[in-house]
């Protein structure tokens, strides 16, 4: 356990909301829990900020809701951002990097993960450097710790980047401080690796392809960047 967990309370009493980390090596690894210690889940088939689990779905998977977006916090060392999304009933649902979060009715105690991999679409949420998200334009793509779409460069070689200087300013490499601490979301296909760039930083690669952000992506979910006069061609990284 990497953060102090508070005594269990109801979802309505959890104000302001805090996301902490639970778990470790083995099992499902590290995953996020609410400040009542209960595991939170995400539905991988919906887009960022979209909460369409209602009625019977919401009865089985209660949304993690708050009365106000003020005071939301992430536990120490958790990458990304915590926020809220408005539901159809007007309530505010807590999000992690744009992903609406839910509880699971059959979890009985803090740290339970009985809802993980339910029908392969309900998953625990790791404090990941890379995970998958659904986008309107290209379906499921890889996104970074901040929730923004990741891209590859066709001119790169396996585990080697030719993007430096102005290129790297336009297409910031996805980097980590510790290559042994790279965390990817559960159930992602393919192989993730790291390599050292010329400047000494450690860049993340997917199936050998170095990964980048795009500086002109203004919001999460952008997956078709347009840049008049761009020298390099980029593409959203699709999950097989």
Q: What is the pTM of this model?
A: 0.68
Higher pLDDT, 25 or 118: 118
Whose structure tokens read 């269990």? 8
Residue 171 in tokens: 């297409």
pLDDT higher than threshold 90 for residue 20? no
Q: Is the dihedral of CA 88, 89, 90, 93 positive or negative?
A: negative
Please say if the pLDDT value at position 10 is more than 50: no
Q: What is the pLDDT of residues 199-220, one digit of tens each?
A: 999 999 999 999 999 888 877 6
Torsion sign, CA atoms 23, 3, 145, 12? positive
Looking at the DSSP assignment, which residues form a beta bridge with residue 99? Answer: 96
Note whether 31 and 113 are within 8 A (CB): yes
At 222, the pLDDT band (50, 70, 90 cuts) reads low
The phi, psi pair for 166, rounded to 5°, reads -65, -35
* Greater pLDDT, 34 or 239: 34
With a cut of 80, say whether residue 167 has pLDDT above it: yes
- Side-chain half-sphere of 137: how many Cα atoms within 13 Å? 10
Q: What is the mean pLDDT of residues 66-75?
A: 89
Catalogue the E-assigned strands of the chain: 18-23, 30-34, 41-43, 65-66, 73-74, 82-86, 92-96, 99-100, 122-124, 130-135, 139-144, 151-153, 175-176, 192-196, 202-206, 209-210, 234-236
pLDDT of residue 158: 94
Does position 231 have pLDDT exceeding 60, yes or no? no
pLDDT digits (tens, 9 = 90+) for 96-116: 888 899 999 999 999 899 999
| Four-point Cα dihedral 136, 142, 147, 153, nearest 10 | -100
Element (H, E) at 15: none
């Amino acid at each position: 356990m990497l953060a102090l967990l508070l005594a269990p309370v109801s979802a309505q009493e959890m104000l302001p909301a805090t996301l902490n980390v639970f778990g470790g090596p083995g099992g499902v690894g590290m995953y996020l829990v609410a400040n009542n210690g209960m595991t939170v889940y995400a539905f991988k088939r919906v887009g960022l900020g979209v909460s369409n689990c209602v009625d019977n779905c919401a009865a089985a998977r209660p949304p993690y809701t708050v009365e106000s977006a003020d005071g939301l916090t992430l536990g120490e060392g958790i990458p990304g951002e915590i926020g809220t999304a408005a539901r159809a009933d007007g309530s505010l649902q807590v999000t992690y990097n744009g992903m609406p979060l839910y509880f699971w009715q059959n979890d009985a105690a803090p740290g339970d993960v009985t809802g993980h991999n339910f029908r392969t679409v309900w998953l625990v949420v790791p404090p990941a450097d890379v995970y998958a998200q659904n986008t309107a334009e290209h379906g499921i793509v890889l996104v970074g710790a901040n929730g923004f779409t990741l891209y590859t460069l066709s001119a790169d070689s396996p585990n080697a980047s030719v993007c430096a200087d102005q290129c790297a300013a336009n297409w910031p490499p996805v980097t980590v401080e510790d290559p042994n601490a790279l965390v990817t979301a559960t159930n992602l296909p393919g192989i993730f690796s790291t390599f050292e760039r010329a400047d000494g930083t450690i860049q993340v690669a997917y199936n050998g392809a170095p990964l980048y952000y795009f500086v002109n992506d203004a919001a999460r979910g952008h997956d078709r960047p347009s840049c008049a006069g761009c020298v390099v061609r980029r593409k959203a990284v699709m999950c097989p």
